[in-house]
Amino acid sequence: MCKIGVLVSGRGTNLQALLDAQNEGNLGGEVVLVVSNRSGAKGLERARAAGIKTEVLTRLHYPDKDEYDAKLIEVLIENNIDLVVLAGFMRILTERFILAFENKIINIHPSLLPAFKGVRAQWQAVDYGVKISGCTTHFVDRDIDAGPIIMQRAVPVASDDDGDSLAERILEHEHEILVESVRLFCENRLEIRGRKVIIKE
User: Whole-prediction pTM value?
Assistant: 0.96
The residue range of the domain holding 43 is: 2-119+136-154+170-199
Residue 28: how many CB atoms within 10 A of its CB? 20
Q: Kindly state whether residue 108 falls inside one of the protein's structural domains.
A: yes
Q: Which of 16, 56, 64 is nearest to 40 (CA)?
A: 56
Residue 12 included in any domain: yes
The C-alpha atoms of residue 189 and residue 198 are separated, in whole angstroms, by 8
| Contact between 193 and 39 (Cβ < 8 Å) | no
Assigned domain for 68 exists: yes
Q: What is the pLDDT of residues 83-94, one digit of tens each?
A: 999 999 999 999
Active site (catalytic) residues: 109
Arithmetic mean of pLDDT over the chain: 97
Q: Domain count of the chain?
A: 1
How much of the chain is in helix, strand and coil states, percent to nearest 5?
Answer: 35, 25, 40
- Mean pLDDT for 134-145 is 96
pLDDT tens per residue across span 56-88: 999 999 999 999 999 999 999 999 999 999 999
146: domain CATH number is 3.40.50.170
